[in-house]
Structure 1
Amino acid sequence: MAAPRVASDVEAGLESVFPQELGLFADVFPTETRYQFCGHELSIAQHHGSHLGVAAPVWEAALALCDYFEKQKLNFWGQKVLELGAGTGIVGILAALLGGDVTITDLPMALKQIEENVCRNLPVECLTRTKVCALSWGLDHMEFPSNYDFILGADIVYLKDTYPSLIGTLQHLCGPLSTIYLSSKMRQEHSTALFFETLLPTHFTSKLAFRDENENINIYKVTRKNNT
């Protein structure tokens, strides 16, 4: 993609990523699923249907990242955290429960679902340090600061046309002391490996932190290069 696309163009392309027969894009139907991570029980609403599309469900890569936080005993207390392409918001919500000052972002159409899940799961003391707002990669990332301690993304690398915009957004958000965690299903048909093995290392220092062979999910720990 030579230039950033408007958010509606990105949304229009999402339906080509996953097959329609998954049943996620037919009539609107809400579901609720409970998860246990880091001693917290999360109740996550998912509003499946054509409006949210792939933003509606909790994807396995998000669960893998939450599980990684638990196994690594990560503590976000007092840290400034941003989640990209949050969908349900489960990753950012867990980061808030683990003490983070969290900004949870996605395209505008996903914000209502995220806000519902934030209200479902966060006590008042966490709500006061949690924000939900729109962020369209390559369009309005300049409205956000460049000093986040952690930038999180789960299954946000699946639409090839968005890769340049995502790289540009990460470049802006990632400060010298930032750590990025990206969890992704490694879908060959969507050139996911191209992003992580070719595009990302051009601009960032990246290493594989965890791999789930059964689910074909990789978690990468990414930092800013000294010369960027």
Structure 2
Amino acid sequence: MALVPYEETRGMGLQKFHQPLATFSFANHTIQIRQDWRQLGVAAVVWDAFSADTTSLFVCGAEDRTRAARMPGAHVTITDRKVALEFLKSNVQANLPPHIQPKAVVKELTWGHNLGNFSPGEFDLILGADIIYLEETFTDLLQTLEHLSSNHSVILLACRIRYERDNNFLAMLEKRFTVSKAHYDPEKDVHIYKAQKRNPWDDL
């Protein structure tokens, strides 16, 4: 099942998803991400939440800005479903200098499946852009976030609130994580939520 935006966005609307390249400037670097809507649909286009999520790194407080500042030298894992992995790898190779590429690992991840391929609590910072849209995946997504994060991890989720089910996911998230709204981009109508694992003592 594939979903498209419930209405045409400002500017180019849906046409932007059919452009071969999406260009962004981030941290004094220009990146060009190849898109292929025809072959891979929603898995191979850049959603508005992506650019809002990168912006959120600089508005989420001093601790998170420090994490962001370390990103150029950090080891990063970029995930997607198996069908999109080769396409994802080609974008990584096109945008990262050769000496940085070994620090960026492209790895298969289907929420709720084969989580043993990742060490529990392995990641300090987890970014998710527009991944809250299929209600039947919510339980698996929460399980995945719990597995990948530790009590010290920061999770940033960028999303549009399109339907009531999106609010339902946030309610589910708040039962397992401490959640706050970190940023709102009114131009793109994208919300950024910050989540961290609850301390079990907080519920006593």
Whether these two folds match at TM > 0.5 is yes
Residue 87 of structure 1: aligned partner = none
Is 1:18 matched with 2:4? Answer: yes
Unaligned runs of 5+ in 2: 9-13
Tell me the TM-score normalised to structure 1 length.
Answer: 0.75
**Aligned partner (choices 30, 45, 50) of residue 41 of structure 1:** 30
Is 1:184 matched with 2:159? Answer: yes
| Preserved CA contact (<8 Å) 1:76 1:100 | no
Question: Which secondary structure does the structure 2 equivalent of 1:111 belong to?
Answer: helix
Name the CA shift for 1:107/1:218 in 2 (closer, same or farther; >3 Å): same
Is 1:121 matched with 2:109? Answer: no
Listed one character per residue, the Cα deviations across residues 48-70 of structure 1 (whole Å, up to 9, x for unaligned) are 11x41111111000011112235
Report the Cα distance in structure 2 between the residues aligned to 1:156 and 1:180, rounded to whole angstroms.
13
What percent identity do the matched residue pairs reach?
Answer: 34
Residue 140 of structure 1: aligned partner = 114
Decide which moves more: 66-75 or 127-136. Answer: 66-75
Report the Cα distance in structure 2 between the residues aligned to 1:70 and 1:130, rounded to whole angstroms.
21
| Preserved CA contact (<8 Å) 1:37 1:70 | no
Listed one character per residue, the Cα deviations across residues 127-158 of structure 1 (whole Å, up to 9, x for unaligned) are 11110010111111222012210111000001
After TM superposition, the runs of 4+ consecutive aligned structure 1 residues lying more than 6 A away are: none
**Aligned partner (choices 111, 125, 147) of residue 85 of structure 2:** 111
- Say how many residue pairs are matched: 191
| Preserved CA contact (<8 Å) 2:57 2:68 | no
- Please provide the CA RMSD for this pair: 2.6
Is 1:64 matched with 2:52? Answer: yes
Match of 1:40, as an amino acid?
H
Pairwise CA distance, 1:122 = 0.6
Pairwise CA distance, 1:74 = 2.9
| Preserved CA contact (<8 Å) 2:59 2:183 | no
Pairwise CA distance, 1:77 = 6.9
| Preserved CA contact (<8 Å) 1:34 1:41 | yes
Unaligned runs of 5+ in 1: 1-12, 80-94
| Preserved CA contact (<8 Å) 2:58 2:68 | no
| Preserved CA contact (<8 Å) 1:77 1:100 | no
| Preserved CA contact (<8 Å) 1:182 1:219 | yes
Tell me the TM-score normalised to structure 2 length.
Answer: 0.84
Question: Which secondary structure does the structure 2 equivalent of 1:132 belong to?
Answer: strand
Residue 83 of structure 1: aligned partner = none
Report the Cα distance in structure 2 between the residues aligned to 1:217 and 1:77, rounded to whole angstroms.
20
Residue 11 of structure 2: aligned partner = none
